[in-house]
Every structure is written in C-alpha cells, then in structure tokens.
Amino acid sequence: MTQAAILFKEWSGYLKPEDITQLESAYHFSEAAHEGQFRKTGEPYISHPLAVASILAEWHLDTQALTAALLHDVMEDTAVTKTEISRNFGKPVAELVDGVSKLDRIEFETHEVAQAENFRKMLLAMARDVRVILIKLADRLHNMRTLDAVESDKKRRIARETLDIYAPIANRLGLNRIYQELEDLAFQHLYPDRYRVLSKAVKAARGNRREVVSKVMDSIKRRLKSSGVEAQVHGREKHLYSIYRKMREKHLSFAQVLDVFGFRILVKDVAGCYLALGALHSLFKPIPGKFKDYVAIPKANGYQSLHTTLFGPFGSPMEIQIRAIEMHKIAEAGVASHWLYKSSDTSLSDLQKKTHQWLQSLLEMQSQSGDSVEFLEHLKVDLFPDEVYVFTPKGKIMALPRGATAVDFAYAVHTDIGNRCVAVKINQDLMPLRTELKNGDRVEIITAAHAKPNPLWLNFVVTAKSRSRIRHFLKTMHYQESSQLGERLLNQALGALGSALGEIKGAQWDRFLRDAGAKSREEILADIGLGKRLAAVVARRLLPLGEPGSNEVPMPGSVIIRGSEGLAVQFAQCCKPIPGDPIIGIISKGQGMVIHTHDCPAIIRARHDPDRILDVAWDPDTRKLFDVSIKLVVANQRGVLAKVAAEIAGAGSNIQNVAVDPEDGSDYTNMYFTLQVSDRLHLARILRSLRGITEVVRLSRV
C-alpha cells in the first residue's frame, strides 16, 4: 500500500467517502503536475504536498483545506492556473491555493521587497480565510523538518524567516506545538553549535534530575489526591530555544537556568484549577511575584492556564502550569481547535473572536501602510507581545505588549481616541503620555476635539496599530497642508502674471495634468507645497500661450507666514526664526518650505539656486509660540538657576529645555535655555528681565 493510500485510509476516520474521493483526485492531479520534479532530499516532489496535508489532517481540517494543501505548490511551480484549479476543485480551493502561492511572476527591486510583498499577500488572504495560514504553517513545518538538504546560505535565510515571522504567527494563533517545533528547528539550523551544546546539556540534566523529578511528581500527586482534586500530572521540559532565549536575555549560564523542568497539571474545570493551586501552595512555598493568572485573564491568542513558580524540595525553583483539559486542547491546537474540537464552549468562540479582531487589525494596518516593507515592519512589532494587562475606567481588561505607553492604550481603545488624546490619568494621577503602563494600572485617556498626533510619539509607541495610525495621520495631514501651501504659492505666482487661480479653466488644468502625467489638481498643488514642482513654472504652463505675461515671469510677492501652517511649513532648527526676524523661505524637496533667518549660514548653498528661494513675510497677527535658544554666562552660585527660571516665567514664557555645562571648578558657567516666545519684542522683554539678575554676566541669543 502506498503512503498516500495509508493516509487516505486514516483520514476516512473523520471524513466522508465523497471527501476522500476528492482528495484522491487532488492527489493524482498534483502528482501529474509535479511529475519529473524532485525535492533536494531526492524524493519525488509529491511527497511534500502529501506531508503538508497529513499535518493538517492531525487538526481534522476540512476537505477544502486538505485539497488545497495537496495542490498548494502547483500554481507556483507548474503551468497550472487558478482557473484550472477552480474548474476542477471549486473556487474556495482555488482561493486557498492562490493565498499560499508566492508572487513569483512579478519582478521586485530586492529580495526584501519581494519577501515583504509575499507576506502581505499571504496575510491578506489569511484575513479572509484563516485556513491559508494553517496551510502555510504546515508547509513551513515540513520544509523545516527537511532543511538539512538545502545549501547553507538558503538554510540560514529560511531559518531566520521562520524565527522572525512564522513561529510568532503560530504563537499568535495559539498553535503551541507547531510554534515550539518551528523555533527549535530554526534554532538548530541558525546556530547549529549552540543547539548541539545545549541539547547535550539538557540530556545530561534530564539524567541527573530524573530522581528529583519523580519524587516531586509523587508528592504532588499525593497532595492533590488528599485535597480531593482529580488531576493528571505530567513532567514538562522547556523547549531548547526558550532555554537559549532565557540564557541570552538574562545573561545566564545553563547551570543558572533552574526551571528547565516543570510540571503540568490537568484538571476537570476552572474551579479545579484554583483548588489545585491552593493545594500546591500549601505543599511548596510559592516564589513572590511569580504567579500569573491566565485563566481569569486569557492571553490574546486564547491561551488559558495558571502559572506559579514554587521552591522545590532541594531549593531549586519549579514552574507549574495548571489548566483544565479543554484549556489544554486550545493551548496545543489554538485556532485550529475550531476544526479539531467542534464545541459550543465559550472559550472557543472567544478565541475565534480574538483571532478575527487581530486579522481585521492586519487589514486596517496594511491599508494605511505606505508599502509592503513598512507593513512587514508593523507586523513584526505586533508579533512579539509579552503582555501587560490594564483596566479601562469601566473596568474592562485590555492586553497590551510590555513597554506599551498611554498612547498605545489610547489607540487600542479607538483610533479617534488615539488621534485626539492630550493627557492621561493612570490610577487617578495625571501622567505624561509617554508613561509605560504596568500590570493592573487603571488608565483614563483625556481627549480634546482639535488635538492631533504628535510626530514625536513615534519615538516611544510600541504597538503596530498606534505606529501605523500615527504615520497614516501624519502622511494625510502633510499631504493636505502641502496642498494648501501649494495653492497659496501657485495663486501668488499667477498673481504676478496678472492672473489668478480662479481664472484657470478646467480645460487648461486637464491639458496641464495630461502633459505632467499627474492624476489630479491636488497632486500638483501638494507637489508645489512639497517643493517637487516650482509654482512659477506651473503658473507659466497653466496660462495659454500668447496671454500677457505667459513668457516672462516677474518675481511674485511675499508669502505670508502665520506660524500655523503645520507640517508643510517648517521653521529651521539651525537659526530658529521668530516673528520680527527678517526671514527667507527655501523650497526643500520633500519637506515643503523651510523658513530661515535671512543671515542664516545654512542658506548660502540655496542662494545659488534662486528658483528655490521665496520672499516671505510674517503675518502681523501670529498667535503661535515659537522656540528660541539663548545662552547665559552666570556666576557659579547657589540658587542662580531658580532665579533665572523665575524671571523667565515672570516674563510670560515657557522653558522647553535647559542645559548647564558640567562643573569644572570655575567661578562662572554656561546655561542654555530653549524658550517659547511670541515674537522679538517678547524675547527682548525676557532678556531685559534677565539682565537685572546680578549673577548674569553675559547673555545672547544662539
């Protein structure tokens, strides 16, 4: 009997006869398509699709998924088309095969871009049907099991990809067994020497501790029985990569990793979990701070269990996991348990709901990512959550990755809350938005109607959702503001030619857009605002030939700067111009207009390109505060900083930043302040106040 026939006989235990007939048909179709192809191991290629289908059959996946598994490489490696698969096996199977297939027929700039685009395609297909990723994970698992036959460089690349993407996705979907095997296989091929040494050490430790483990197991069984708890007790060994990760992250030697062995206790129900916990805590002393209750607060992937670490009989810590049998099934099979254990159990539907929410967040993330590489970067952030549990004001529990800040929490609640947040109360105390959240924090976000995301938030947010939402908002806002600035610049350039934007007819715009290869007026205006096109050139091309001034471009008048233009107009950090300073505008490609003081050394190069220079002038009624830097030389005496700060506050200014030169034993020292002022007159008032302090020897604007 062939391997295929043996497997079909096994699968008939849960599939109908007509399903087996379809699978046999798919097998013969795939075998014919792959005829003459061999794997690196030397086996006929059909052995691989058969192995992938076999892994999926362990989860009792349906016929469509198994059919797609048998056909998953035919579109990629043979001449078979999606239409052909659809005609023979139905549209759902064709969609599954297409979702798993790579974009091999499209040329990409680099391998990284190709890889990122393939992941994006696969994950979007997975968001529509989670079976796509189950087939892909089974495919990757079999490839990893047979990776020895692949050449060294490719082997390392595949192992790294598995560790970075596929193993974390398996973990995120609660597929614990596959997750651990993928990590160990990737570890073995990525760091073969470390794997070999660690594997040997674990085997030796297993032999040395066998007696201890059996003694502890016996005492646990006796205590549970005397406490009336019906339970199964199993010895448990950490998988190699998790031991290696712990050694690397905590800088430990193998001898210092004491919880290589632990115990798993399976009970009937939730009540049994807590009874078993009480019994064990009375047998061995628990280590404070090492208890985690994932039963009351499940992990995002649906995992439920009680974790406690106890002092063992010889002083070494032991990790214990306590869970109900249903929880154990979900812990091992994760999202696949939907097929494996058809049940109305609420934990299953909760898991499906959480998985669906995560998949939807992937769809939103990709729609707001500029390209596939950025999407993959967001995804990697999202796949490594070591979770923190916090409470909303109404007592709802939210899980966030470790290191998450108040801004991450705001975006987790809702995108609009994140975009409009201005402050946060953590446990009733007002705190900065960058504050890292801790387990048990009660978090309340304060919003304002006209608030918007700050680009600086990107320096401290950790979740993929908040990062992609902030970037999307800033890109959209930048585009809109650049478009508004472009409109002002173009109107000015047209005014200098004796025309106006309102006088340009639709036909003139259409002709210009066609010649320029642009999609819309907004695109042209945004390009002008971003410095990608010159307003004077666009104005000249918009006017019909022969119209007054169409060949000769006089200098347009000054652009009025209000200080509230947003991202399209930036104030140079080198000279920090403020209202009252003579200023000049430089069109900087991709940044829009950058405002400098007229004598700033940074604009010398721009003077050689007069098309980039614009006349600008301050609006008499600017209502914004501007940053300005000042330097003070002061007598090195106690209390001088407090005096200076009091004078600045008394003159109605905020201190944004302060720095003092290190102590060098001198009688004098330098102080540097960044202040917020409304204009030069305001700055003059502040400087006048500071000159009245006897300890201030010299002061100047930087």
Within a 10 A sphere around the Cβ of 53, how many other Cβ atoms?
29
Catalytic residue among 24, 31, 62, 76: 76
Sequence-ordered list of residues with C-beta below 8 angstroms from that of 70, at least 6 positions apart, any chain: 23, 26, 27, 29, 30, 49, 50, 52, 53
Q: Kindly report the backbone phi and psi dihedral angles of residue 469, in degrees, each rounded to the nearest multiple of 5, phi listed first.
A: -65, -40
Are 72 and 29 in contact, with CB atoms under 8 Å apart? no
Phi, psi of 570 (to 5 degrees): -115, 150
**Which string of b and e fits 421-443 if b means at least 16 CB within 10 Å?**
beebebeeeebebebbbeeebeb
Q: What is the DSSP string of 221-253?
A: HHHHHHTT--EEEEEEE--HHHHHHHHHHHT--
Rg (CA), the chain: 33
> Cβ distance 453 to 418 under 8 Å?
yes
Q: In this structure, what token pair is assigned to residue 355?
A: 């998985």
Going by C-beta distance under 8 Å and a sequence separation of 6 or more, which residues neighbour residue 349? none
The residue whose two tokens read 């490489």 is 73
Cβ within 8 Å of residue 394, ≥6 positions away: none
For the chain, the straight-line distance linking the first and the last C-alpha, in angstroms and rounded, comes to 87
Instruction: Give the integer Cα–Cα distance in Å for 158 and 671.
Output: 55
Supply 523's token pair. 């695109």
Nearest to 185 by CA among 235, 142, 139: 142
Catalytic residue among 24, 31, 62, 77: 77
Our answer to whether residue 76 is catalytic in this structure is yes
Asked about 77 being catalytic, the answer comes back as: yes
**CA distance readout (Å), 645 to 350, 628, 632, 650, 702:** 56, 15, 12, 9, 18
d(CA 372, CA 376): 6
For the annotated catalytic residues, the residue numbers are: 76-77
